[in-house]
């Protein structure tokens, strides 16, 4: 059972959107947003992301300021018809230890399900040499505090909202 | 930067604008930035309900195909101002992201270098990647 009540169409977005636009706050206060793939875990109601140690700035930012946001606004490839756009604001816990597999198996499964060409970055000695850093990850667990969604992805109207989630 | 920025912006139908709300959390919306050449800034029309605060802000443009491949993206760091009912984003820095060709080579080179520095700084031995276990997850994910 989910830890908070969200409409089915919102949960479908969490599971099926190929990317979420993930924001961390830089030292100077600038919100920095990059597309990533994250896993939604209905129990205990959190999101798992993991940044490569080759791109560690997200983790550095979150260690300094745990406020994070996941914005789901790109439905391409999701197979969903007129899905809502969703913004999740929450607090991130950044793992101290890096991992390549343990604890993020569901994230790799999701990436591989969505991205058949991922095989190109994990096959053969040359790609193993060039791309091993991509598989060295710092897990980021985001606990939502506020969830807003725009039915049909229409930003002209105020979003619906579930606040005080966490 | 301005001309390069305009060339890049034209490749995307919309962008994601992010600024902080009054509680300090990031608040994002999709928007269509309109270049203001004279001011070298982007005019952005947003609905009134938007909770963004003027101040540091970021703009992301990104693309991926249906198979989460052919990804391209870039980020603008800048500031967001609200004057006479109009939002203005002033870009300060353009940060290159994913892309093909030289962008891809740069990404791999920088990724390897950053990873090496991270491991050295944290006193961690370079971990072996469990390629066969990853391949098994790939196989299950693709057959599911």
How far, CA to CA in Å, does B109 sit from each of A12, A29, A159, B5, B102? Answer: 36, 28, 41, 24, 10
Residue of B133, B132, B108 lying closest to A130 (CA atoms): B108
Name, in order, each residue with C-beta under 8 angstroms of A61's C-beta and a sequence gap of 6 or more. Answer: A24, A25, A26, A27, A32
Contact between B39 and B89 (Cβ < 8 Å): no
Strand order in the sheet with B72-83: B26-31, B15-20, B55-63, B72-83, B86-96, B41-44, B34-36
Please check whether residue B108 touches A, CB under 8 A.
Answer: yes
Q: Choose the closest CB to B68 out of A18, A33, A89.
A: A18
- Say yes or no to pLDDT of A1 above 50: no
Digitized pLDDT (tens) for each residue of chain B, 144 residues in all: 899 999 999 999 999 999 999 999 999 999 999 999 999 999 999 999 999 999 999 999 999 999 999 999 999 999 999 988 899 999 999 998 888 778 888 999 999 999 999 999 999 999 999 999 999 999 999 997
Q: pLDDT tens digit string along A40-58?
A: 999 999 999 999 999 999 9
Residues of chain A contacting B16 with CB distance shorter than 8 Å: 21, 33, 71, 73
Contact yes or no for B115 and A53 at CB 8 A:
yes
Sole residue written with tokens 């197979």: A79
Distance separating alpha carbons of residues A38 and A51, to the nearest angstrom: 10
pTM of the predicted model as reported, rounded to 2 decimal places = 0.96
Please check whether residue B13 touches A, CB under 8 A.
Answer: no
Environment class of B133 (CB within 10 Å of its CB; exposed 0-12, middle 13-18, buried 19+): middle
B118-121: long-range contacts at Cβ-Cβ below 8 A with a sequence spacing of 24 or more?
B118/A53, B118/A54, B118/A56, B119/A53, B119/A136
How far, CA to CA in Å, does B126 sit from each of A13, A51, A138, B52, B115? Answer: 36, 16, 14, 42, 9
Distance separating alpha carbons of residues A19 and A39, to the nearest angstrom: 10
What's the rounded mean pLDDT across residues A99-119? 96
**pLDDT score for A65:** 98
Distance separating alpha carbons of residues A18 and A54, to the nearest angstrom: 21
How many Å lie between the alpha carbon of B38 and the closest alpha carbon of chain A? 24
Residues of chain A contacting B58 with CB distance shorter than 8 Å: 23, 30-33
Residue numbers of B between 41 and 70 with CB closer than 8 Å to A: 47, 49, 55-58, 60, 62, 64-69
How many Å lie between the alpha carbon of A46 and the closest alpha carbon of chain B? 17
Distance separating alpha carbons of residues B123 and B126, to the nearest angstrom: 9
Domain spanning B2-96, CATH architecture:
Roll (2.30)
Q: Which residue of B has its CA nearest to A153?
A: B30
Place A94 in a pLDDT band, splitting at 50, 70 and 90: very high
Measured at the alpha carbon of residue B15, what is the angle toward residues A109 and A5, in degrees to the nearest 5? Answer: 50
Environment class of A54 (CB within 10 Å of its CB; exposed 0-12, middle 13-18, buried 19+): buried
How far, CA to CA in Å, does A60 sit from each of A15, A25, A84, A95? Answer: 27, 10, 31, 11
Contact yes or no for B134 and A135 at CB 8 A:
yes
Residues of chain B contacting A132 with CB distance shorter than 8 Å: 115, 126, 129
Q: Which residue of A has its CA nearest to B45?
A: A156
Instruction: Show the DSSP H helices in chain A as ranges.
Output: 8-16, 57-64, 105-114, 124-131
Q: Which two tokens stand for residue A159?
A: 């979003």
Distance separating alpha carbons of residues A83 and A149, to the nearest angstrom: 10
Contact yes or no for B111 and A37 at CB 8 A:
no
Bond from prior residue into A44 cis (ω within 30 degrees of 0)? yes
Reported ipTM: the value is 0.95
Domain boundaries, chain B: 2-96, 102-143
Q: Which residue of B has its CA nearest to A75?
A: B66
């Amino acid at each position: 059972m989910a830890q908070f009540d969200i409409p089915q169409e919102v949960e479908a977005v969490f599971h099926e959107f190929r990317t979420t636009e993930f924001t961390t706050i830089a030292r100077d206060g600038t919100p920095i947003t990059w597309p990533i793939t994250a896993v939604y875990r209905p129990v205990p109601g959190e999101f798992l992301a993991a940044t490569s140690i080759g791109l560690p700035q997200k983790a550095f930012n979150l260690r300094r300021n745990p406020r994070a946001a996941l914005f789901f606004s790109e439905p391409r490839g999701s197979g969903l018809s007129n899905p809502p756009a969703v913004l999740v604001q929450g607090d991130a816990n950044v793992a101290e230890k890096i991992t390549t597999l343990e604890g993020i198996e569901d994230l790799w499964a999701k990436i591989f399900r969505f991205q058949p060409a991922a095989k190109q970055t994990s096959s053969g000695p040359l790609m193993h040499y060039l791309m091993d850093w991509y598989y060295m990850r710092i897990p980021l667990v985001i606990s939502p505090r506020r969830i807003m969604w725009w039915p049909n992805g229409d930003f002209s109207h105020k979003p619906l909202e579930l606040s005080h989630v966490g | 930067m301005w001309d390069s920025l305009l060339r890049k912006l034209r490749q995307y139908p919309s962008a994601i604008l992010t600024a902080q709300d009054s509680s300090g959390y990031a608040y994002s919306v999709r928007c269509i930035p309109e270049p203001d050449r004279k001011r070298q800034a982007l005019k952005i029309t947003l609905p009134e309900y938007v909770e963004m605060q003027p101040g540091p802000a970021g703009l992301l443009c990104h693309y991926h195909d249906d198979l989460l491949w052919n990804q391209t993206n870039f980020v603008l760091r800048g500031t967001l101002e609200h004057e006479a009912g109009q939002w203005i984003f002033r870009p300060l820095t353009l940060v290159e992201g994913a892309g093909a060709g030289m962008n891809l080579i740069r990404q791999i080179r920088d990724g390897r270098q950053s990873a090496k520095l991270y491991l050295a700084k944290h006193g961690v031995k370079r971990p072996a990647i469990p390629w066969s276990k990853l391949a098994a997850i790939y196989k299950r994910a693709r057959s599911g």
